[in-house]
C-alpha cells in the first residue's frame, strides 16, 4: 500500500515538474529577449546621438562664451519679413 502511494506521489511530482520547468524556462527566455532588445535600443540611441551631435553652446568658442555674441548678432541682423499684400491685422 505504501509503495503504491509513494509511486503515485512520485508520478504527480514528475508531472508537476514537466509543467513548471518549461514555464520557468519560457519566462527566463522572455526576460533575456527583453533585455537584449532593450540593450540594442540603447546602443542604437547612443550611436545615433553621436552621429547627430550638433554644435551647441559649449562647442562654440572657448567654453561657449561666443554663443551669446552669436545669438545677439542673429537677433539684430534678422529682420521681420511681411509680404506687401498680406493682411496685417
pLDDT digits (tens, 9 = 90+) for 6-31: 778 788 878 777 777 888 889 999 99
Q: What is the pLDDT of residues 26-62, one digit of tens each?
A: 999 999 999 999 999 989 988 888 888 766 666 667 7
Nearest 5°: CA angle at 50, between 53 and 44? 135
Tell me the C-alpha distance between 8 and 74, whole Å: 86
Q: In the prediction, which pLDDT does 58 show?
A: 64
Q: Which three cell numbers stand for residue 10?
A: 512520485
Q: In the prediction, which pLDDT does 59 show?
A: 65
Q: How far is CA 27 from CA 18, 33, 58, 87, in A?
A: 15, 10, 46, 65
Predicted TM-score (pTM) of the model is: 0.47
Amino acid at each position: 500500500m505504501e509503495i503504491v502511494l509513494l509511486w503515485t506521489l512520485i508520478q504527480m511530482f514528475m508531472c508537476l515538474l514537466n509543467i513548471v520547468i518549461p514555464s520557468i524556462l519560457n519566462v527566463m527566455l522572455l526576460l533575456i529577449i527583453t533585455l537584449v532588445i532593450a540593450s540594442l535600443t540603447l546602443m542604437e540611441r547612443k550611436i545615433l546621438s553621436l552621429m547627430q551631435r550638433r554644435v551647441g553652446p559649449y562647442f562654440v568658442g572657448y567654453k561657449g562664451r561666443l554663443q551669446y555674441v552669436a545669438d545677439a548678432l542673429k537677433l539684430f541682423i534678422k529682420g521681420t519679413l511681411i509680404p506687401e499684400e498680406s493682411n496685417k491685422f
